[in-house]
Structure 1
């Protein structure tokens, strides 16, 4: 018979699972992170893991979403603080560049590349991924609602452009290091130049 946990114990187990999943992803990647390793680190029976998550992919997806939400909150705060009376294009380019650099430095997101993401997203229902992408579009809409945009800007296309830039950062190792930041700045500035009023 499975052990009954108090709400406080459940919260602590879930927090520890997410924390250790983040460490394991950063250390081993998605493919090599195992439920056995996670339960060993957290000190729970393997069956207890499945009381919280149906699979390791579900846990890893949640860890990535939490990191993503944290970045979105920070980005929203920074966009709200941008001085729109000066050179808005340069200010926002710097801000978005910093956002991508922050993503690259987050241990959970550092190890991700197209292959790792494909491995994970194959295990997550397509409708859930689509819902996340739709929510992303809403969040980007909120961000850009604070900025003067050209009339008729297609926020869905803007979201897709910034996603494309993000996925390009996952392949950073295929770009000459001395050109990487300049290229990233050029991509970000090019998108912003087309949408700012």
Structure 2
């Protein structure tokens, strides 16, 4: 990073790139968004972009990960508030609300139009593996908030919740008028198994 940028300037440029990348995802998608468009919006030279990101895909992946981490953090905070009286139903409602938040965000078109898959194909395998491991770790932290569920197979339940998340790709096939009820039923099935594990 050139010395001409202060730490404050670096943070500002990075934040602006992420904001404009999210905006471009909604407007154009990954394929139609160019580095030229991003730097034009942020008002920086093209060479400066590459001081921050090796490719636009890495920028989009960071936008995705930042939103993902925000959702996970919110889930942990809300779960911490209800953990003393947590039931399968209350945990299901919590997870359902967060899935709805994702559904109404930039992430929904990012998933449904194939942009996430496109970005993932162009990323180093190491980054994908790190993200998956971090996702499992976050789920472990979530499960630890529920008393007595520490022995649960964290990877299995983390993968199950990711599988439910991907049903957003098939909302039309499932039926948009009944999708939310189906989503809640699937979440409840997973959460019920967690509480069942606790009672063993």
TM > 0.5 fold call: yes
Supply the distance in 2 between the matched residues of 1:154 and 1:3 (Cα, whole angstroms).
48
Supply the distance in 2 between the matched residues of 1:151 and 1:41 (Cα, whole angstroms).
47
Supply the distance in 2 between the matched residues of 1:95 and 1:176 (Cα, whole angstroms).
23
Alignment match, 1:119: 118
Alignment match, 2:49: 49
* Residues 83, 50 of structure 1: alpha-carbon distance in 2 compared, 3 angstrom cutoff: closer
Specify every segment of 5 or more residues in structure 2 that has no aligned partner in the other structure, as ranges: none
User: Where in structure 1 do 4 or more consecutive aligned residues deviate above 3 Å?
Assistant: 83-86, 148-152
Structure having the higher helix fraction is 2
By how many angstroms is 1:175 displaced?
2.5
**TM-superposition CA deviations, 1:34-83 (whole Å, max 9, x none):** 11110110111111111111000010101111111111111100010115
The 8 Å contact of residues 113 and 171 in structure 1, kept in 2 or not, is answered as no
Normalised TM-score (structure 2): 0.90
* Residues 43, 84 of structure 1: alpha-carbon distance in 2 compared, 3 angstrom cutoff: same
> What value does the CA root-mean-square deviation take over the aligned residues?
1.8
Matched residues, number: 194
Supply the distance in 1 between the matched residues of 2:66 and 2:154 (Cα, whole angstroms).
23
**TM-superposition CA deviations, 1:76-107 (whole Å, max 9, x none):** 00010115436x01101111100100111222
Alignment match, 1:23: 23
The 8 Å contact of residues 79 and 143 in structure 1, kept in 2 or not, is answered as yes
1:77 aligns with 2:77: yes
Alignment match, 1:172: 171
Specify every segment of 5 or more residues in structure 1 that has no aligned partner in the other structure, as ranges: none
Supply the distance in 2 between the matched residues of 1:17 and 1:89 (Cα, whole angstroms).
40
1:146 aligns with 2:145: yes
Alignment match, 1:96: 95
The 8 Å contact of residues 112 and 170 in structure 1, kept in 2 or not, is answered as no
